[in-house]
Amino acid sequence: MTLQTPVMHDAAPHPGVMAGYLDSLSLVERLHRLLLDVVKDEFERLGLLDINPVQALLLFNVGDNEVTAGELKSRGYYQGSNVSYNLKKLVEAGYMHHQRCEIDRRSVRVRLTAKGRDMRDAVAALFERHAVGMETRGVITFDMMDELNRTLRRMERYWTDQIRYIY
């Protein structure tokens, strides 16, 4: 097996691109933490204190589907053991139902219970309220959101390629 060293380019990035990239990285990181805080604050207002924001977002992302932990990881929502831990906690708290897969007995499929669907609906209502608020206040328009999402998807594709392929 031969180890390949990464290709180093002689050209440095344009200073504006480098500064913008570092600013984007910082924003993505802060936005993720803020999202968790926003969900936590909403749940505190509603008196829903038995799950954490990561678990609430997991319920939201599962939605009406029946999935395995591996499927959630492959969709890019969650990493490694934290998805298994959170699924276990959600099953114990009555937010999810789990059933061993008939074909592969090692695999467990999960789906939301009625309690889980109520929690998912609370998160969906929060997100809808935010979308309406941002649009109403002129914070972001549909076209701006569309361009932002296209840009973030390009960044996601680039990072995915960096993980999967050695240049």
**Whole-angstrom distance, CA of residue 131 vs CA of residue 134:** 5
Mean pLDDT of 30-37: 95
Per-residue pLDDT of 65-98, as tens digits, reads: 988 877 877 776 666 568 888 888 999 999 999 8
**C-beta of residue 41 within 8 angstroms of C-beta of residue 56:** no
Is the pLDDT higher at 5 or at 147? 147
Which range, 5-19, 33-47, 62-76, 102-116, is most confident?
Answer: 33-47
**CA distances to 11, 82, 95, 167 from 8, in Å:** 9, 34, 49, 10
Helices and strands (DSSP H and E) totals, the chain:
6, 3
DSSP alpha helix (H) spans, 63-141: 69-74, 80-92, 114-136
Determine phi and psi for 150, rounding to 5 degrees: -65, -40
Q: Which CATH architecture has domain 17-162?
A: Orthogonal Bundle (1.10)
